[in-house]
Homo-oligomer: A and B are copies of this chain.
Amino acid sequence: MSALALLDLASVFIFALTGALAASRAQLDIVGFFFLAALTALGGGTLRDVLINREAIFWITAPELLLVSSLAAVAVFFTAHRLESRLSALLWLDSIALAVAVPAGVAAAIAADMPPTVVLVMGMITGMMGGLMRDVICNEVPVVLRQGEIYATAAFAGSGAALITQQLTSEPLVMLLACALTTWALRAGSLAFGWRLPVYKARPPRR
């Protein structure tokens, strides 16, 4: 199993958990859990594959990923009520999923011989878009827009770390690891210690 396939698998499972947690917050039935889990788990990678024009979307050639996503949905369905705070669980799991999905996007874009700017963007898209779809459909404020939190920045820094490491070493695993750790360190730091970038504050708009 290639490193890319493994990353896809892990990010599908963890993002599916966050989708199912969102379904539990919206009090859906089990099929709603399946639906939101799959959308969150597969959305970012699907968009990546459509954009780089891969011959087939990753989960169509590996439909067992749909079962992985459904397993995650079932697991949450039977355990979420035990969580202290489902929002907090969602945010922490989302941070791990982000840290796994960004390198998955970077690896796929490099495998498709994309130029560096496109690699950067594909890392961000793969990491952020599944969660964005989840939040838009649930009509929650997208995590990426939560004021002052480091999110897009983490994905950007992670993709950037991958590009820099790639210049320094020929070992792809080192690159993927640097990417994942950079992404997660920034995002987790923001969640745990309230790290943030300065946000835009202007006079309140007249209307």
A interface residues, Cβ below 8 angstroms from B: 23-35, 38, 46, 50-53, 55-57, 60, 63-64, 66-67, 77, 80-81, 84-88, 114-118, 121, 124, 128, 132, 136-139, 141-142, 144-145, 147-148, 150, 152-153, 156, 196-203, 205-207
Contact = CB atoms under 8 A, between A and B. Distances in A.
B136 A200 contact: no
As for how many copies of this chain the complex holds, the number is 3
A201 to B, nearest CB: 6
Nearest to A124: B35
A70 to B, nearest CB: 10
B33 A200 contact: yes
Across chains A and B, which 4 residue pairs bring their CB atoms closest together, nearest first? A81-B202, A29-B197, A63-B117, A31-B153
A51 B43 CA distance: 11
B66 A121 contact: yes
B85 A207 contact: yes
B139 A60 contact: no
A49 to B, nearest CB: 9
Contacts of A80: 200, 202
Contacts of A55: 53
Given A56-B53, A145-B137, A202 B24 contact: yes
A36 to B, nearest CB: 8
A55 B55 CA distance: 11
A32 B152 contact: yes
B118 A63 contact: yes
B142 A137 contact: yes
Nearest to A56: B53
B197 A30 contact: yes
A21 to B, nearest CB: 10
A96 to B, nearest CB: 20
A156 to B, nearest CB: 6
Nearest to A90: B205
